[in-house]
Amino acid sequence: MSAGRYAPSPSGDLHLGNLRTAMLAWLCARSTGRRFLLRYEDLDSGRTVQGSEQRQLQDLHALGVTFDGAVIRQSERYAHYDDAVAALRARDLVYECFCTRRDIQDAPRAPHSPPGAYPGTCRHLSERQRQQRRAERPAAWRLRTDPREVTVEDVLLGEVSAVLDDVVVVRNDGAPAYNLAVVVDDHLTGVDQVVRGEDLASSAPRQAHLRGLLYGDDAFSEVQYVHVPLVLNEQGKRLAKRDGAVTLEQLEVQGHSADAVRDALLGSLGLPVGTLSAALEGFAPDATLSAGVSEQVRLPEPLLP
Ligand code: GLU
């Protein structure tokens, strides 16, 4: 059955921007009859903050964001990532890469290669060279791709294009890389609608490409993408934890109830306030969101106790 999802990293409390994206993902899923899944992207154990899963869930519930089925944790799904990498290996679609960040930065690159793209240094190593390099440092695994442009359709942004490059699918500490885990999880859990911040839009063509490679041509185009505007701070920069009171707990201390925050977030989307279910009435991802989403969220003066 088709589904949408919200996929936070449990690396601390959610801030207003994260919460608004989660509300939008819920609205998009529910308004299109999809299930809505919660997936913790907890592969980077160094960033995991104890207790934040529970706190994130409580905050989402306080705003009316509900989920179907069991919570999914990437840290419990290694077998699926291993299967996917084995399938890519069997087709010779991945190769070992020994480059450090520095090596990548300093490597000569082809004219017109996109900024940050992998320059291909380890693509053509001989077995002998690989053996030598293995003794020096552990390898990451990269996808072998043609540097061609791939385009996906986004409900809000229209066509989103990116030139493919050899993305990492397994990091050199052995952990599955972000792009691989997202693609495997989305596909295997029936996710066919991806709503997330627009900072991730440029990942969509690569992820669609990888999904097609792993699961067949139809899988390339089975996802509806909705990359939504981020909440900005007063300087017009993407909201962050350092911008003061931005989590539900911090706002509560200042006298803003979860209901008031929910209404401010809904207001910033031009949606009716009250409950999330009320906002769902008449919500259509393209029409509602194209009508104008405010980048800043204004909270009313708190009621003094
Ligand atoms: N875990 C990512 C984040 O917290 C989201 C990944 C995704 O939605 O694909 O920004």
Pocket test for ligand 1, best of 5, 9, 24 (most atoms within 8 A of CB): 9
User: What number does the ligand 1 atom closest to the CA of 196 have?
Assistant: 8
* Cα–ligand 1 centroid distance for 105 (angstroms): 25
pLDDT of residue 284: 85
Per residue in 42-96, pLDDT (tens digit) is: 999 899 999 999 999 999 999 999 999 999 999 999 999 999 999 999 999 999 9
Per residue in 172-219, pLDDT (tens digit) is: 999 999 999 999 999 999 999 999 999 999 999 999 999 999 999 999
Residues with CB under 6 A from ligand 1: 7-9, 41, 182, 196, 200
Q: What average pLDDT does the segment 162-167 reach? A: 94
User: What number does the ligand 1 atom closest to the CA of 207 have?
Assistant: 9
**Secondary structure of the chain in the HEC alphabet?**
CCEEEECCCCCCCCEHHHHHHHHHHHHHHHHCCCEEEEEECCCCHHHCCCCHHHHHHHHHHHHCCCCCCCCEEHHHCHHHHHHHHHHHHHCCCEEEECCCHHHHHHCCCCCCCCCCCCCCCCCCCCHHHHHHHHHHCCCEEEECCCCCEEEEEECCCEEEEEECCCCEEECCCCCECHHHHHHHHHHHCCECEEEEEHHHCCHHHHHHHHHHHHHCHHHHCCCEEEEECCCECCCCCECCHHHCCCEHHHHHHCCCCHHHHHHHHHHHCCCCCCCHHHHHCCCCHHHHHHCCCCCCCCCCCCCCC
Q: What is the value of pTM for the model shown?
A: 0.94
Q: pLDDT category, 161, cuts 50, 70, 90?
A: very high
User: What number does the ligand 1 atom closest to the CA of 5 have?
Assistant: 8
Q: Residue of the nearest CA to atom 7 in ligand 1?
A: 7
Pocket test for ligand 1, best of 182, 199, 207, 231 (most atoms within 8 A of CB): 182
Please check the confidence at residue 303 and state whether its pLDDT lies above 70: no
